[in-house]
Amino acid sequence: MKNMTYSNKNKMRLQKYIAHAGYCSRRKAEELIDQGKVSVNGNVIKEQGVQVGSQDEVRIHGQLIELKTEFVYYLINKPKGVLSTVEDGFDRQTVVDHIKTSERVYPVGRLDKETTGALIVTNDGEFTHTMTHPSFDLEKQYRVSLDGIISYDVINELKEGVTIDGVEYQGVDIKNVKKDETKKRTQLTITLYEGKNRQIRKMFEHYKLPVLKLHRFALGPLVMDDLKIGQYRELKPFEIKKLTLAAKGLL
């Protein structure tokens, strides 16, 4: 998918420029600016909102940053034990290790190490911002296996929304509940409308129902197709458009 070309007259905020260049998300760019890691035309910038254009020389850690003319988007079925990050200081496997591309890509949002399933990897920082910013809303669907039998009271509480350790969690949607009384196991499908850290695990642990398996199979309108664990494919242009519209509540 081609990105628009910016003329010298069309300037944008520095953090947006960095995101459009595909270096990182807009939120991460704001952190780099606050840390004094970004310079424009040789001057270190530590304030948000500075306007730059294609004629300006933007550097991060001394590395020249240029606007992208083309972005890549991949959907991967993340394996268990793989980190949703670009690199790891302990030499553990990351999701980026599984994708063969010459572009500097990074995951859109996160799945914790033990969770499998749908994860998007891209070099489009603006797209990443839309998909992950709290002001937008992209539902996510998971298949969950629990150690224990869930009660209807717990299901109803989770649907209404709960507060755990001072953290408020929005109501969720729970369907396809299957209880195995012999093995004392429960399987179900849950839909989240927000993305707090380890939300599903924390909610069920609160009710003494440890999560045995957690697999994300859908992101908004994008449903994981026949990708096996560890496999990936490029997203189609119409899928990117639908994801963006869904995140903005326009679909």
Catalytic residues: 112
**195-224 as b/e, with b when 16 or more CB fall inside 10 Å?**
eeeebbbbbbebbebebebbbbbbbbebeb
Please identify which residue in the block is written with the tokens 């299957």.
178
107 close to 95: Cβ distance less than 8 angstroms: yes
- Cα 160 from chain centroid (whole Å): 25
What tokens were used for 20?
Answer: 């459009």
> What three-state secondary structure class fits 239?
helix
DSSP 156-213: HHHHH-EEETTEEE---EEEEEEEETTTTEEEEEEEESS--TTHHHHHHHHTT--EEE
CA 57 to mean position of chain CA atoms = 29
